């Protein structure tokens, strides 16, 4: 075999190996995408099933334990999907209805931790987490909750600042710090002055009239 022929055959072999590698890589990527899509589809089906139980429990309070169980099983079978934080948040609600505030807070905290700060749901869930912390019997947790609520309320990237600001003012109001409450609610009214009507601004306006 001549040297030129040997080189030619080696080049053919390398090209074949390279093509085989590309095919395997493409197959691997395709398989991963299929796995992700299949996983997400199953999570969506599980969430739909959970919501049916949640709605049933809203009509019949004796069914909250069943709803909580369904959410727990869904979370066990559908981890690390885009719907995991939402499943955790709804599970927290079921636990609150079952008068299990500590477990509910733990579930809500996980929901927030699994959401990127860029998510449209992040600030909404963080506000809920903060309010649950404020309701805690533990004074340290309560104080951390108010700090979190204040942080969320003054985050300019938060699309639900009006809600967070309302609850900051309400916290001051419940503590008889009426001047601080009025200041926060006035900030809320100024924030929403040029925005679409905010139900939280209307609530704040009604509270200010009572000060």
Work out the pLDDT band at 19, boundaries 50, 70, 90: very low
Domain housing 171: 120-211
Statement to judge: residues 109 and 160 lie in one domain: no
Residue 203 in this model has a pLDDT that exceeds 80: yes
The Cα angle at residue 82 between residues 80 and 83, in degrees rounded to 5: 95
The 8-class DSSP code of residue 197 comes to P
Statement to judge: residues 157 and 132 lie in one domain: yes
What CATH number did the domain enclosing 161 receive?
A: 1.25.40
DSSP SS3 for 98: coil
Statement to judge: residues 124 and 106 lie in one domain: no
Strands (DSSP E) contained in 64-162 are none
Q: How many structural domains comprise the chain?
A: 2
Is the pLDDT higher at 47 or at 65? 65
Is the distance from CB of 42 to CB of 74 less than 8 angstroms?
A: no
Dump pLDDT digits (tens) for 126-135: 999 999 999 9
Q: How far apart are the first and last CA of the chain?
A: 100
Residue 32 in this model has a pLDDT that exceeds 90: no
Is the pLDDT higher at 20 or at 115? 115
Can you tell me which residue has the tokens 């300019």?
156
Statement to judge: residues 98 and 36 lie in one domain: yes
- Provide mean pLDDT across the span 150-162: 95
pLDDT of residue 41: 79
Summary mean pLDDT of the chain: 84
- Provide mean pLDDT across the span 189-200: 85
User: In terms of pTM, does the model score above 0.75?
Assistant: yes
Statement to judge: residues 5 and 97 lie in one domain: yes
């Amino acid at each position: 075999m001549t040297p030129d022929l040997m080189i030619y055959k080696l080049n053919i072999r390398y090209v074949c190996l390279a093509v085989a590698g590309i095919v395997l890589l493409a197959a691997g990527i395709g398989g991963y995408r299929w796995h992700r899509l299949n996983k997400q589809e199953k999570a969506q089906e599980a969430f739909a099933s959970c919501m049916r139980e949640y709605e049933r429990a809203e009509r019949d309070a004796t069914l909250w334990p069943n709803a909580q169980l369904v959410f727990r099983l869904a979370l066990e079978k559908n981890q690390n999907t885009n719907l995991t934080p939402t499943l955790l948040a709804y599970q927290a609600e079921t636990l609150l209805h079952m008068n299990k505030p500590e477990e509910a807070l733990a579930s809500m905290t996980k929901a927030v931790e699994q959401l990127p700060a860029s998510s449209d749901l992040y600030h909404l869930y963080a506000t809920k987490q903060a309010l649950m912390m404020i309701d805690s019997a533990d004074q340290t947790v309560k104080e951390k909750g108010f700090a979190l609520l204040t942080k969320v309320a003054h985050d300019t990237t938060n699309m639900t600042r009006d809600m967070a600001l309302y609850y900051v003012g309400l916290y001051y109001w419940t503590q008889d710090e009426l001047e601080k409450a009025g200041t926060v609610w006035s900030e809320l009214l100024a924030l929403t002055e040029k925005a679409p009507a905010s139900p939280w601004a209307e609530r704040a306006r009604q509270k200010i009239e009572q000060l």
